[in-house]
Copies of this chain bind each other. A is one copy, B any other.
């Protein structure tokens, strides 16, 4: 199939995803953003490469949505509300118009779901694999962004949702198993389409002392908080929230519990907060319909210690997964 030129692609497919105030209908050299008075602009960017960050047979709509969602997850982790995004698309010569249209359809669906619009970007061709970068832009009350550096000794460690599903999902997409189809589909979907906690992040401002989203693996990412905050942490393995599907997958040796805790791609929020707000967290989770669970404590010293039911130390062979 022939492929449209850059100008046609922008005018026909991408401009309808844009707006006038920020994206200038994609006719200009740059995008404009006025944060709400009293707010600071927040920007996050991630690059996905075919075969490295998604499987080659992934539907184009899912590729587009994942690229957007991993960045919306970063924006949420800063306590910010996402407003728009920039899209850099390097398309292989072989890509068809139909695949590009499917890609755009995926973006349109997620723009609706997450309240963002396309503000700008660049479209080029490449002799290599499909490569896309999304830069998400949001805003947070000035001086109140959630950073990795604020964890205090005595804080509790919380995580949203469930951990390890995506690691199991990737394993299942790469092989076969005796898992029930409904469980396998659930886990594969958790890998394919992460759920950014966009409703939770902004509500943590003023409550959480430090936060990030789990992309490298629960233990590795808690390690990032510890390093940046100059503290240590303990995690009670039995308290880490696991989905029923993941428990079934572990029972059938799809992956081990340690692999679930270090597997990455969860895109759940991991954050620290003083014990005083424990009840507020319970109420918040219930109000938002998202599990928010305490799984450990911030301690003196450094590094992350994983504890079993009896308080014994579980030794991990690796802390996390690198996307590099």
| A contact residues vs B (CB 8 Å cutoff) | 5-7, 9, 24, 27-35, 40-49, 51-53, 74-75, 77-78, 80, 86, 88-90, 119-129, 131, 133, 135, 137-138, 140, 142, 145, 147-149, 212-213, 224, 228, 322-324
Which single residue of chain B is at the shortest CB-CB distance from A142? B34
Known: A86-B135, A131-B90, A323-B6. A147 touches B47 (CB 8 A): no
A44, B27: Cβ atoms closer than 8 Å: no
Copies, count = 2
The complex places the Cα of A137 from the Cα of B125 at a distance, in Å, of 24
Known: A74-B30, A124-B52. A45 touches B86 (CB 8 A): yes
The complex places the Cα of A212 from the Cα of B45 at a distance, in Å, of 25
Shortest beta-carbon distance from A105 to chain B in Å: 21
Interfacial chain B residues near A224, Cβ < 8 Å: 27
B32, A121: Cβ atoms closer than 8 Å: no
Cβ contact of A28, chosen from B5, B51, B129, B212, cutoff 8 A: B212
Known: A126-B129, A129-B127, A323-B124. A41 touches B52 (CB 8 A): no
Q: Name the residue among A27, A32, A34, A119 with the largest chain B CB count within 10 angstroms.
A: A32
B44, A30: Cβ atoms closer than 8 Å: yes
The complex places the Cα of A42 from the Cα of B24 at a distance, in Å, of 12
The complex places the Cα of A52 from the Cα of B125 at a distance, in Å, of 8
Known: A31-B42, A41-B41, A43-B33. A49 touches B5 (CB 8 A): no
A135, B45: Cβ atoms closer than 8 Å: yes
A122, B43: Cβ atoms closer than 8 Å: no
14 sampled A-B residue pairs with Cβ under 8 A: A28-B147, A31-B43, A31-B44, A34-B142, A43-B120, A43-B135, A45-B120, A45-B133, A46-B122, A47-B89, A47-B122, A49-B90, A131-B131, A135-B135
Interfacial chain B residues near A28, Cβ < 8 Å: 78, 147-149, 212, 228
Which single residue of chain B is at the shortest CB-CB distance from A42? B30
The complex places the Cα of A30 from the Cα of B27 at a distance, in Å, of 27
The complex places the Cα of A140 from the Cα of B33 at a distance, in Å, of 10
Interfacial chain B residues near A127, Cβ < 8 Å: 49, 51-52, 128-129
The complex places the Cα of A78 from the Cα of B137 at a distance, in Å, of 19
Q: Name the residue among A125, A128, A138 with the largest chain B CB count within 10 angstroms.
A: A128
The complex places the Cα of A43 from the Cα of B78 at a distance, in Å, of 20
* 8 further A-B pairs in the complex, CB-CB below 8 A; given A30-B44, A127-B128: A6-B323, A35-B41, A43-B135, A45-B133, A45-B135, A47-B133, A49-B127, A88-B133
